[in-house]
Each structure stands twice: as structure tokens, then as C-alpha cells.
Amino acid sequence: MSFLVLVVLPILLLVIGLPIFLVLIVSALLGILFLGGIPLHAVHTAMFGGLDSFPLLAVPLFILAGDVMARGGIAGRLIELVMSIVGGVRGSLAISTIGAASVFGAMSGSSVACVAAIGKLTLPSLQKAGYKRSFGVSLITATGVIDVIIPPSIPMIIYSIAAQQSAAVLFLAGIVPGLIVACALAAYVMIHARIEMIPVGDPARWVNIWEAMKRSVWAVFAPVVILGGIYGGLFTPTEAAGVACVYAIIVSVFVYRELDLKGVWQIILDCAVLVGQIMIIVAAAGAYAWFITTSGLASSLVQAIASMHFETWLLLLVINVLLLIVGSVVEPPAAILVLMPLLMPITAQAGIDPIHFGLVVTVNLAIGMFLPPFGLNLFASHAMFGTPLPDLYRGVFPFLLIYLAILMLLTYVPAITLAPIAFMR
């Protein structure tokens, strides 16, 4: 009965189109009614208990910081700096787009915000340089998910809460995978530019780099302040998110003067709507996860899988497929909150390092964000740039193959994620 209520029922409710938070709450309530002996007010306690978390405060703060940076000129100046450095190479503008997404990822952690900020600034230039519009939009769609992998990453923060791991350690483990993704994408766009005979851009000139550096010096310090403060021991990731908000507002309003206080207030209101959507999912997932634990489903599932005697490599492959499917229809925070109570006992039984598994989960859900046909970034790009979805599906396919190859590498070579942690210790 627990399996029907907690697994089959949510799938059916998702298929008929219910919002994810209602799916989780209804499943938890019906589970309590069928199980019996548990007071209904336990759902209320579990929901608000799931929100009572200091690390969770980093999520709305990083969302706010990223939006202020995108609209306040910080992201734009960083992109100009990257473009001034990467020059004289065939495909340099596409490489600059990847570099800009990586840098923006080190400040915001929001994939859709990255697609919007990077796309609006680079798509016209990509078309002017000779790239087809469908390729440019596909590139922006695929590179936008680097923000999910490169720290600070909102899904990593959510995972750290669900798996009771250190967010700072997860951030450190995500640096190398993020750089591998960026380098692999850069290699592909260089090959594509050569095949399509895209004109070589203007060579990098010290005078242009110097001018861009002077314009962006305050923007460059944003990721330095965020990541340097975390790894320098000055503040926690949650405190870093608060510092990032203050820094972004001060620079955008008083230094670059691209925002006024009215504009900041409007950004806060817009972010409040998005944060409300995330937090109601977090609250509902808290009740759902609590009931999974109470019902004994997680322990039963562990025993069932253990009885099958799966090899670790096969178990990881099955989990990868599951995460890709779920990640293509459910946003990463919700997917993590729903699946981790089920998957963490299984991976612990198999001896899989929770930090390594956290990066496997993160990369899977990042890929799911542009995995056809339902990836969130696909719909975001379709809405923002007007590119037909069939064109997007074809355009992101090469990028999807690259991400999947990197996923397999990260899954079966744990040293890629764990070596930086051992080095820092």
C-alpha cells in the first residue's frame, strides 16, 4: 500500500497535470489516512519543519543576487571582459558565451536567469558573426545549465540539506566538473565554427582587455567575494549569499548606476514570486519525505535492491537513467527533495560517497533541464527567443551528447570530484 500511495499515485497525479506541490501534499495526506495511527497535524509539522533550515536561506538570497547582477550591469560587464580576452580564434564569440555563462554561474546559481542574461547579450552578436539563430539559441540553452554545476549552485544547496552534507564541500567538488563541461563545450563550438567557416573574430588586444577590465573591475570582484569568502573561512554559503546581495545592490545602484532603488524593489518582488514557488515545493516535499521515512518504504526499498545484488556500476547507471527522466519533467530542487530520501539509503548501502553522489545528481538534473521534450530551459528559450521547439530539440542534441559523456566520466571516476576535497584537507 505504501508503494502505491508514495510512488504510483504521484506519477498518476503528475501525468494528469497537478502541480508538484499538490502531488506531494496529497500523497502524504492519503498515505497517513491509509496507514492509520498517525495524526494529521504531523503533515503540518513536517512541512514547516522542512523550511526551518538556515542553509535553505541561501536559496532566495542567491536568486536575488543573481537577478540584481543580471539587471544591474554586473553580468554584462563580465561578458564584455570575457569577449575581449577570447579573440582571434575561430569560434571565439561562442567560446565567450560559454565563458560568460561559467562566470555568471559563479555568482548566481540560477540556470534560467543565466539563459536570460547571457542570451539577451550574446544572441544578436552570435547572429551577426555568422552563426545560425537556432545554433545560437541552442548554445545558450545548453550552456545555461553550467550554472547548476558550477558553485554556488542552488541544487547543491538543496542536496546538502536533503543529504545532510556540507554545502561548502559540495561547492568545492563542483569546480572541476564545471570546468570540464565548459572546456568540452568550447572544443565542440571551435570544431563547429571551423566546419561552418565562421569568420575569425578580431584578435585580442591588450588595450581592449584593459578597457574592459577597468569597466568591469567591480563585477570581477563579485565571484571573488562570494567564493573567496566561503573557502577563506570568512562566512558560510548562506552568509555568502547575503553578502552577494548587498554587494550586488551597492555596485548596481551606486557604482554602475544602472539600477535605482525602485528597480531594486521590483527585482525583490519578482524574486519573491519565484522563491514562493520554490519554498512551497520544499514544504510539501518535507511532508512527503517524512512520510517515506515513517512508512518504512525507504528501508524496504534498500532491502529489495540489496537482494538483487546489483553491481555498483549497474546501480549508478540505473540511478542515472532515473534522474535524467525525472529531471526532464521536474525542477531540480523538487527532484532532489523527493528522490533523496529514497536514494540516499540505497547509495549508502552500496558504499557510494555522498559528495560524489551529490555531483552525479547535480549533473543529471542539469542535463534534464534541456533534455527533450520537457526540459525547463527549452521552454524558457522558446519563450524568450521565439525559436520553435523542434529546432531547439535538434540544436541541443550535440550538446546533450557532450554532457552525457561527461556524466559517465564523473559517475565512474569519483576522483574527479573527490580529489580537490582531499587536496584542500
pLDDT tens string, the chain, 425 residues long: the values are: 566 766 677 778 777 777 777 877 887 777 777 766 667 677 777 777 767 776 677 778 877 887 787 788 787 787 777 777 766 677 777 887 887 777 766 665 566 667 766 776 677 777 777 888 888 888 888 887 887 888 878 888 889 888 888 888 888 888 889 889 989 998 998 888 888 777 766 666 777 778 878 888 888 787 777 777 777 778 777 788 888 889 889 999 998 888 888 999 998 898 888 778 777 877 877 777 777 767 766 566 666 766 777 788 888 998 898 888 878 767 787 788 878 888 888 888 888 999 999 999 999 988 988 888 767 777 777 777 777 878 888 888 999 999 999 999 999 999 888 888 876 65
| Bond into 152 cis (ω within 30) | yes
Per this entry, what is the length of the chain? 425
Long-range own/partner contacts, residues 79-82 (CB < 8 A, 24 or more apart): 79/103, 79/104, 79/118, 79/121, 79/122, 80/212, 80/215, 80/216, 81/209, 81/212, 81/213, 81/215, 81/216, 81/219, 81/220
Does residue 98 contact residue 186 with C-beta atoms inside 8 Å?
yes
User: How many whole angstroms separate alpha carbon 146 and alpha carbon 99?
Assistant: 10
DSSP conformation class of 251? I
pTM of the model: 0.76
